[in-house]
A and B are shown apart, each in its own frame.
Chain A
Amino acid sequence: MKFKALVGLLAAGLMATSAANATELEVMHWWTSGGEAAAVGEFAKAFDATGDKWVDAAFAGPGEQARAIMVSRITGGDPMGAFQFNHGRQAEDLIEAGLLLDLTEVAEAEGWKDVVNPSKLLDACTVDGRIYCTPVNIHSWQWLWLSRKAYQDAGIAVPTNWDEFVAAAPKLEAAGKLPLAVGQQGWQQTGLFNVLMVSLVPTEIFQKVYGDKDAGVAAGPEVARVFEAAADAREISKNSTVQSWNEATNLVITGQAGGQIMGDWAQGEFSVAQQTAGDEYECLPGLGVVEVLSTGGDAFYFPKLDDPEKEAAQKRMAAMLLKPAVQVAFNLKKGSLPVRGDIDLSTANGCMKKGLKLLAEKKLLPDTNLLITPDTSSQITDLFAEFFADKSMSPEAAQERFVDIIAQAD
């Protein structure tokens, strides 16, 4: 079949020597942007080097489509070899139903407990003392990416924090630039709001709202301030019509927009465009206000398969994903931070180093994906999609709805 031949060709190109009886493992993921694909290529290369074969099954587009396929295939009894999920509570049900492979053995042999840093990431993979997933990276949301070119064109200094950024907006607009690029998708707008919450008000507010689901705090004056800031963001991004996050990033790369609030994966797009932090663009963790990072990330899960050979290959893959060299290569391309604290990242660029420093200082918060269910997060996403599209929706009204959602969350 044509497909197999092409996969073969691809694999042959990736590895010099291939074991004759390599075990093929199909890996499903939704990493399809330039930086993401380059990063996943590092995994494939490393896995093929062990003598097995990485069969790439990428699915572009909204995560729910990809998830529909993954869940259907697992419940349908014809699962893939491995799949990527956002780290956190998304896979709870699958683990409970016993559909995923227990990786405890691998974790013990490889000493994951000692090397995974922060250890919270491994906790999120653990149910009743057994480990069911491999965290592969740490992503943090709290970054403001700024285009030096945009500010130069407008003849003003590059802002160093959120307040300066908002204050500079009218001048950028006068210069025909978009002050803030926001992709018109709910998850991006929600992410932006959460970043504002982490950065602009004391960090325990974030913990209380999302961790303890404290509706009282969610209704309080601090969160009200965050909603005011979100309304500011809405105002200065009103001419942003792009959809996907990397289209928005591209506006920053090309200097059409002043900045974008987006997770560290945006870094990958800057490197694909061969830009250097400090020269063409700037990054401000925690919006330059409170330098704290939330640590979410991606993890790989392995459905149970009936084939012992495949199971062995799954375990080999799980072990491979956390090998130091693989972690370095993957994360440099992806723009994320490695999950091991014991590796040398001297080749990291300026922005990543800022992140590593915060990681070392343990200025960390858990990501919302670790705290709230997809159900709650989806309701919040709908709320912000509406808030950002409907200029007549007041911050107070939005906050009221937000409080309701938090009150119902579990």
Chain B
Amino acid sequence: MVNPSLLPAAPKVVGPRGPKPTKAISPRNIMLYGTLIVVALYYLLPLYVMVVTSLKGMPEIRVGNIFAPPLEITFQPWIKAWAEACTGLNCDGLSRGFWNSVQITVPSVIVSIAIASVNGYALANWRFKGSQIFFTILIFGSFIPYQVMLYPIVILLREIGLYGSLTGLVIVHSIFGMPILTLLFRNYFTSLPEELFKAARVDGAGFWGIYFRIMLPMSLPILVVAVILQVTGIWNDFLFGTVYTKPDIWPMTVQLNNIVNSTQGVKEYNVNMAATILTGLVPLVIYFVSGKLFVRGIAAGAVKG
């Protein structure tokens, strides 16, 4: 397929590459920043609406428009969303699910990444007969709609006695995270200079030795990407969290669903929006804090095929 000589070297300098900017105010800059600002508005608008709506009282929502800033700021919707909203008889809002989500996300992220990084390493450096076939099947798996696999996995988990447990859910997340993560790690490890690997082999290091002493420490950029993708995906998961566990460990998204869907007469948009922001807070913070690392990691992992 790709002629290796055509492949770019791993990016050494991560920085803009376009033509150099000219004067501060030029037609080009006006167009450039004008476009960027319009684009930014499109992306920010929903977040703005969420925040603004969550700070309004219901009467104001009913009369006003959704883009108007709140006349009277109230935090009541936030309190209600976090601690008071009812589902059936339980009136404790999202707080019930927060720790469950943490308990689900942390082990799932660690296990899925550990497995996928080893996979990627084996696929890149220790290819064995049939390894590419399994990899192809994994990629096939990344296209299978989750709904299709729902039932077989219920039966599988039942047979190994893990249905309804946290461990079972961690396994499910590892399974469904595997295709994309393996692809990322495989691409990343392939892009590392082969001399590194060969030198370590000459020194007599084995499979695990090379992995732990050389590959893993070098894979920080792609690890960051994997962590971000997994935290986001698993934190936001709703289907697996409900179908493979019991209410004791239902994640926060289930409470979000319940708050949003159990209308008491009128939809309380302000509470819904507050609940929405609260549920999305963890992945959002991660993106805002580590966005730069994410881009760098992607640059390192996805550029090479």
Q: Does chain A touch chain B in the assembled complex, meaning CB atoms less than 8 Å apart?
A: yes
Say whether, besides A61-B261, A75-B158, A244-B263, A56 and B90 are in contact (CB < 8 Å). Answer: yes
Chain A residues lying within 8 Å of B264, measured Cβ to Cβ, are: 33-34, 246, 272
Q: Are A246 and B263 in touch, CB under 8 angstroms?
A: yes
Q: Is the CB of B243 within 8 A of A77?
A: no
A360 at the interface (CB under 8 A from B): no
Contacts known (A2-B99, A80-B246); A37 close to B89, Cβ less than 8 A:
yes
Q: Say yes or no for A59: interface residue by CB 8 A criterion.
A: yes
Q: CB within 8 A of A33: which of B163, B243, B248, B263?
A: B263
Q: Which of A2, A54, A65, A78 has the most CB of B within 10 A?
A: A78
Q: Which of A19-73 contact B (CB under 8 A)?
A: 26, 28-29, 31-34, 37, 40-41, 44, 54-62, 65, 68-69, 72-73
State which residues 147-197 of B face A: CB under 8 Å. Answer: 150-151, 154-155, 157-158, 163-164
Decide if A312 is an interface residue (CB 8 Å cutoff). no
Min CB distance, A270 to chain B, in Å? Answer: 10
Smallest Cβ-Cβ distance to B164: which chain A residue: A78
CA distance A26 to B95 in the complex (A): 20
The total of interchain contacts (Cβ-Cβ below 8 angstroms) comes to 119
CB distance from B261 to the nearest CB of A (A): 4
Across the interface, which residues of A come within 8 angstroms of B199, CB to CB? Answer: none
Complex Cα spacing A72 to B156, Å: 12
Contact size class for B?
35 or more
Interface range on chain A: under 10, 10 to 19, 20 to 34, or 35 or more? 35 or more
A58 touches B266 (CB 8 A): no
Q: Which residue of A lies closest to B159 (CB)?
A: A77
CA distance A59 to B256 in the complex (A): 11
Identify which of A40, A65, A75 contacts B242 (C-beta below 8 A): A65
**Whole-angstrom distance between the alpha carbons of A44 and B243 in the complex?**
25
Query: A129: CB under 8 A from chain B?
Result: no
Please, what's the 1-or-0 string for B84-109, where 1 marks a CB less than 8 Å from any CB in chain A? Answer: 00111111100110011000000000
Q: Does B35 sit within 8 A of A, measured CB to CB?
A: no
B150: chain A residues within 8 A (beta carbon) = 68, 72
Question: Measured between C-beta atoms, what is the minimum distance from A269 to chain B in Å?
Answer: 6
Question: Shortest distance in angstroms between A45's beta carbon and chain B's nearest beta carbon?
Answer: 10
The answer, yes or no, to whether B265 is at the interface (CB within 8 Å) is yes
For the complex formed, measure the closest distance between the CB of B290 and the CB atoms of chain A, giving whole angstroms.
28
Interchain CB contact under 8 A, B88 and A31: yes
List of A residues within 8 angstroms of B243 by Cβ: 68-69, 72
B78 within 8 A of A: no
Across-interface contacts of B157 in A (CB, < 8 A): 76
Contact present for A26 and B261 (CB under 8 Å) = no
Distance in angstroms between the alpha carbons of A73 and B248 in the assembled complex: 13
A44–B247 alpha-carbon span in the complex (Å): 17
Residues of chain A contacted by B121 (CB below 8 angstroms): none
CB of A247 within 8 A of CB of B266, answer yes
Name B240-292 residues within 8 Å CB distance of A: 242-244, 246-248, 254, 257-267
**Pairwise interchain contact A75-B90, C-beta atoms closer than 8 A:** no
Asked if A73 and B164 sit within 8 Å, CB to CB, the answer is yes
In contact, B96 and A60 (Cβ under 8 angstroms): no
Contact (A60, B90) CB under 8 Å given A3-B100, A72-B150: no
Q: List 20 A-B contacts (CB under 8 A).
A: A1-B99, A10-B89, A26-B247, A33-B262, A37-B88, A58-B89, A58-B258, A60-B260, A62-B261, A69-B243, A72-B154, A72-B243, A73-B164, A75-B151, A76-B154, A76-B158, A76-B163, A76-B244, A77-B158, A250-B266
Report the 3 A-B pairs with minimum CB-CB distance, sorted nearest first: A58-B88, A32-B262, A78-B164
